[in-house]
Amino acid sequence: MAVGGITGTIDGIDYRNVRVVAAMNKIPGTAWYMVTKMDRDEILSALTYQMKMILIILILVIITSGSFLAFIIRDQRVAFYREKYEAELNRLALVKHFDYILKFANDIILLIDRNLNIIEANDRALEFYQYTRSEFIGMKLEKIRAPEAVSQLQEDLKTVDENEYATFETVHKRKDNTTFPVEISSRLVIIEGSKYYQSIGRDITERKSIENILRESEEKFRKIFEESPFSIIMTGKDFGILRTNLSFCNLIGYDDEELKLFTFRNFTHPDYIANDEISLLKLIAGEIPVYHTEKRYICKDRSIIWGSTSVSIIRNKKDEVQFFLVTIEDITSRKNAMTELITAKEKAEESDKLKTAFLHNVSHEIRTPMNAIIGFSTLLNDPDLTEEDRTQYIDIIFQSGSQLLLIINDIVDIANVESGQVKVNLTQMNLNSTLKSLNEQFRINRKQNNVSMSLSTILPDEDSNIITDNTKLVQILSNLINNSIKFTRDGQIDFGYVLKDKLLEFFVKDTGIGIPSEYHSRIFDRFYQVDSAVSRQYSGTGLGLSICKGYVELLGGTIKVESESGKGTQFIFTIPFLRA
């Protein structure tokens, strides 16, 4: 085999016809092979001895391990039975404990099988349903449900099956067919592979009654809150808005969601915030039972309203502030009416004073020319009267009659203006020509030698033809010029017009005694005169400026005064510029 080039270990028979194990391998660098052999029996005898030793050792190990394992098993069995014994004791204690709970529990406790038969119940259940134990055990669950609640049974059981537990409310009935509401807490349990329902029920008759009372109370409060014609606000302890009714939203202009971002400070007028905070602290401290005030509120459109406000506290059982309840009555109309009433009263009182002063003044103004007329008319009967004196007396009588006529005309004119009987008579007139005639008339009749008068016109004479009420325009200017003449001892009187924005703006300006600024708003009132002492000094009825204002407004314009005491006066009025 070596000659054939075979190397390795083989099992064969040698020349002695004995089974041997031979090993053959080539000697490196030569063509020679080395062959060694050993009888197979020699090898197997050594191997047999080693196997016996291994087997003996293995048997010893098994015996040792078995003894140790038996010891451990015995110890574990002792521990197992000890734990089982203790568990049984605990189980018996728990059984006794739960039997006690089951027997004396205040709730209804039932055990129901999958066919919905009652298989166990506590004493409380028997007491509630008025059955004996023999009657109750084995009864179908639907028998203790009120007729109107039977249809809901399968739906409730389905919920328990799906979630393995459920809590719901239903109505049960007793043996005498009386019913009561009950809250059921039911759980699915598996005992020895079978499905059962464990049910704990509680009579909620009293709770339902309280809930109904609360619900009715809340509903009444809600209706009162939402439908009240008074504005109502509910705020938290920090005065943040929690809820408002529709009346308040309509009153203030904000909607409920906007107001929930506010406190009362956001819409209370700044003048009242400090006092509100002090009064609310007094309310919280119990110094006052209710805080009531009248104050102004700022609406969403920035308008101001008046509200009669009452604030009360709602406290919890611990007497802690829960929230504030605010009611607001809109008294804007009442406040405005009161203000108007006070103003009207003051105006009426002022009017009475003015009328009294006017009557005294008019009586004086009428009496003066009347005395002159009567006195000089009597003197005309004197036979020794010269022709020169007669002419002078007649002239005095004529002037006094003219003065008396002017007074009467003023009274008639203001009466017509006040009653609305004056009508505008629009005609064509040449403005420059009319003003020049008026200027000439006053220049001739003016007695003050140390007062000069000038006229200013802006339009050329040929373009000064306009359409207006000539009579009323002349009377307005005449009254204003007369007024300037009366209160100007020396200096200058200027009058005329300018053209501004399709309006003719007339002016009468003097260097007279002037009018203090505090009287500017009143001088156009009828019967009003700046100073009675001045009036007596300069005479007059106090109707001229009122007539001017009435006529200017009838012509579609406005009138104003610019004046300072001791620095003269300027009256300015406008009328529409209508070309002829």
Over residues 431-473, the pLDDT tens digits come to 999 999 888 888 766 555 678 889 999 999 988 999 998 888 9
Tokens of 128: 């509630």
> Is the CA virtual torsion 510, 513, 484, 468 positive or negative?
positive
SS3 state of residue 420: coil
The band of 117, judged by pLDDT with boundaries at 50, 70 and 90, is: very high
Q: What is the pLDDT of residue 182?
A: 92
Question: Cα(16)–Cα(538) distance, rounded to whole angstroms?
Answer: 183
DSSP assignment string, 159-221 = HHHHHSEEEEEEEEE-TTS-EEEEEEEEEEEEETTEEEEEEEEEE-HHHHHHHHHHHHHHHHH
| Pairwise pLDDT comparison (62 vs 497), residue with the higher score | 497
β-sheet bridge partners, residue 232: 327
Question: Cα(138)–Cα(100) distance, rounded to whole angstroms?
Answer: 22
β-sheet bridge partners, residue 167: 185
Phi, psi of 29 (to 5 degrees): 85, 0
Quick one: which H or E segment has residue 298?
strand 291-298
CB atoms within 10 A of CB 160: 19
Question: Cα(272)–Cα(472) distance, rounded to whole angstroms?
Answer: 52
How many C-alpha atoms does 330 have within 13 Å on its Cβ side? 16
Tokens of 222: 């809600």
* Radius of gyration for the chain, computed over Cα atoms and rounded to the nearest angstrom: 62
Please identify which residue in the block is written with the tokens 């059921």: 184
Q: Which residues of the chain form CATH 3.30.565.10?
A: 423-576
How many C-alpha atoms does 354 have within 13 Å on its Cβ side? 18
Q: Which amino acid is at 302?
A: R
Contact 253/301 with Cβ under 8 angstroms?
Answer: yes
For the chain, helix, strand, coil in percent to 5 are 50, 25, 25
| Pairwise pLDDT comparison (540 vs 393), residue with the higher score | 393
| Pairwise pLDDT comparison (6 vs 217), residue with the higher score | 217
The band of 536, judged by pLDDT with boundaries at 50, 70 and 90, is: very low
CA geometry: angle at 97 spanning 93 and 99, to 5°?
115
- Give 134-165 pLDDT, tens digit per residue: 999 999 999 999 999 998 999 998 999 899 88
- Give 294-351 pLDDT, tens digit per residue: 999 999 999 999 989 999 988 887 888 888 888 888 888 888 888 888 887 877 776 6
Question: Cα(548)–Cα(484) distance, rounded to whole angstroms?
Answer: 14
- pTM of the model as a whole: 0.40
Q: Is the pLDDT of residue 533 over 50?
A: no
CATH class of 423-576: alpha beta
Phi, psi of 524 (to 5 degrees): -90, 0
Q: Which residues of the chain form CATH 3.30.450.20?
A: 105-203, 230-330
Question: Cα(479)–Cα(406) distance, rounded to whole angstroms?
Answer: 11
Tokens of 12: 């064969």
Q: What is the pLDDT of residue 485?
A: 86
Instruction: Please provide the average confidence, as pLDDT, over all residues in the chain.
Output: 82
Question: Cα(363)–Cα(563) distance, rounded to whole angstroms?
Answer: 30
SS3 state of residue 289: coil
Please identify which residue in the block is written with the tokens 């005479």: 539
- Give 486-514 pLDDT, tens digit per residue: 888 888 899 999 998 889 999 999 998 88
CATH of domain 105-203: 3.30.450.20
Question: Cα(449)–Cα(466) distance, rounded to whole angstroms?
Answer: 34
Tokens of 318: 């611990």
CATH of domain 230-330: 3.30.450.20
Q: Give the strand order in the sheet containing 569-576.
A: 451-456, 491-500, 503-510, 569-576, 559-563
Contact 297/231 with Cβ under 8 angstroms?
Answer: no
Q: Which residues contact 397 (CB under 8 A, 6 or more apart)?
A: 372, 373, 376, 377
Phi, psi of 244 (to 5 degrees): -135, 155
The band of 4, judged by pLDDT with boundaries at 50, 70 and 90, is: low
How many C-alpha atoms does 535 have within 13 Å on its Cβ side? 21
Contact 314/324 with Cβ under 8 angstroms?
Answer: yes
